[in-house]
Every structure is written in C-alpha cells, then in structure tokens.
Amino acid sequence: MNNKLNKYLDGIFLPYEDLPTVKELKEELLNDLHEKFNDYKHQGYDEETAYNMTVNSIGDISEIIECISANTRELKQLSSKDFSKINLQDSDFIGVSVHDSKFDYSDLKRSDFTGSDLSESSFKSSDMVDVRLDGTNLSGAIIDMSDMRNVSFSGANLTEAKLDMSDMRNANFDGANLTRARLKMCDLRGSSFGSCILDYTDFSSSDLSGVCFDNMTLTGTIFGKTGLKGTSFRNAFLRDVSFRWSDPKKTIFDGATMDKLTYAVLKGTKADLSNVTVI
C-alpha cells in the first residue's frame, strides 16, 4: 500500500519533477502521508480504508504546487534584476539565471546559488556567510567589501571576477577557475585552493598566511604586498609569478620548480630556496 501512495504522489508531481523546491515539498508530503496511513492502520482500519482516508486528508494540493512551480520558473528566468537591500537569508537560488543583477547590501547568509548563472552580477557590502556558489558562473562579477566567511566556490567560474576588500576566511575555492580574477586586500586565511586555475590571478595586499598551493601550477599569478607567512608552495610549478613587495622569508618553497626571473626575485627577498629547481 505504501507503493500505492508513492504512485499517487508521483502522478500529481510528475509535471514538476525538474524543480528542486517542488521535489522537496513532495518528499515532505510523502513522509507525512506514510505516517498518517500507519496511524489509521493502528486505529484498526483496513488497508484500503486507511489509504482512502490518507489521500482524502490532503485535499486538493494541485493549486499549491502550481503556485510554487510558477514562482520558481519565473525566478529561473530573471535577468538583470535588482535584489539590493533585501533580506534573502536561507534562499534557494539553485540553478537560477540572473546575469548582470545586483545583490548589493543584501543579507544572503546560507543561501544556495549552486549551478546558477551570476555572471557580471554585483555583490557589494553583502552578508554572504556560509553561501554556496558551487559550480556557479561568476565570470566578471564584482564582490566588494563583503563578508564571505565559509563561502563555497567549489568548481565555480570566477574568470575576471573582482573580489576586493572582503573577509573570505575559510572559503572553499577547490576546482574553481580564477583566471585573471582579482582578490585584492582580502583575508583569505584558512581558505582552500585545491586544483584551482590561478593564471594571472591578482592577490595583491591580501593575507594568504598558512594557505596551501602545493602541487599547483601558477602562471602570471600576482602576490604583491601579500601576507605569505607559512604559505606553502611545495612541489608547485611557478612561471612568471610576482612577489613584488612581499616578505616570503617564512614561505615554503620546498620542491618547487620555477623560471629564472621568479627565482631571481625571490632570492633577493632572502626566501628559502634551498630545495628549488630552476628552469
């Protein structure tokens, strides 16, 4: 009989299976129906009667589903909209397309933008603590003076994005593309950059103390006036990387490979290059 309840809901929700919000409603409703069915059985009703009473108890939910569906589909089609100065905490923006939109001065804590298109969008002075941006297109986006602690950018496209003067402690950039991105004057302590693309990424005046770049390939990356105490480049490949005005004396380059110009600059700063290969 439980399978019959499942099939009943499958028929109602079938046209909306592509919408995460509606799928969540279906899962919650299904659990409620199973509990009601079991309650009726425990009260002594036979299975068929218990099934009919369970189905009748929810009434006509098609109007509610249609309303949620319409709102979600409309949100997915929004483009160039202004969401500034709005409380959007815990919002579900999974898969939305809001290219060239504004989220300035908004509260976005714990919101989920996984797989969305936010290219060229603006997030100025926004609260983005614990926001998920996994696999999101943020190319050309501007994120200034924002609180982005614990944000996840895993697999995101941040090509030519500008993330300046922001608190990004413990952010997750694993697998992200940061080609020509700018992260100036940011606190990035505790952040993760595993398997990132950091070609010509600008970290000028940011704090990368203790951050790990082990085994990575860095081309044209800029670490000007950057905090690098305890930062590790073990077994990394560095080509045309700039450390101008930085103090890498306590930076780890053990096993790194680098071009002659990068080596010469680091040597002048008295960095420990005792186990470095120059090409």
Q: Residue 210 is encoded by which pair of tokens?
A: 């203790």
Domain count along the chain:
1
Q: What's the rounded mean pLDDT across residues 45-53?
A: 86
Share of the chain above pLDDT 70, in %: 86
| Digit-coded pLDDT (tens) for 234-247 | 999 999 999 999 99
Whether 231 and 213 have beta carbons less than 8 Å apart is answered as yes
Residue type, position 207, single letter: D
* Helix (H) or strand (E) segment spanning residue 211: none
Whether 120 is covered by a domain: the verdict is no
Residues 57-116: tens digit of each pLDDT? 766 555 556 555 555 555 555 445 889 999 999 999 999 988 889 999 999 999 999 999
Residue 63 located in a structural domain: yes
What single-letter amino acid sits at 109? K
Q: Which range of residues forms the domain containing residue 55?
A: 2-70
Is residue 15 one of the residues assigned to a domain?
yes
Beta bridge partners, 239, equal: 219
Q: How confident is the model at residue 7 (pLDDT cuts 50, 70, 90)?
A: confident
Asked if residue 226 belongs to a domain, the reply is no
Q: What is the mean pLDDT of residues 36-40?
A: 85
Q: How far is residue 57 CA from its own chain's centroid?
A: 40
Domain membership of residue 9 (yes or no) is yes
Between residues 190 and 11, which one has the greater pLDDT?
A: 190
| Joined tokens for residue 191 | 């952040």
Give the pLDDT band (50/70/90) at residue 2.
low
**Alpha carbon distance 36, 39 (integer Å):** 5
Residue-level pLDDT at 41: 83
Tokens for 219, please give them.
């081309």
Closest CA relative to residue 146, chosen from 91, 92, 174, 185: 185
In a domain, 51, yes or no: yes
The reported pLDDT for the residue numbered 72 is: 55
- Segment 130-147 shows an average pLDDT of 97
Given this model, what pLDDT does residue 102 score?
A: 94
Confidence of residue 20 (pLDDT cuts 50, 70, 90): low
Domain annotation covers residue 167: no
Smallest CA-to-CA distance from 244 within 269, 270, 209, 220 is with: 269
Instruction: Report the DSSP beta bridge partners of residue 182.
Output: 162, 202
Domain membership flag for residue 195 = no
pLDDT tens by residue, 177-236? 999 999 999 999 999 999 999 999 999 999 999 999 999 999 999 999 999 999 999 999
Residue-wise pLDDT for 250-259, tens only, equals 999 999 999 9
CA distance 147 to 139: 19
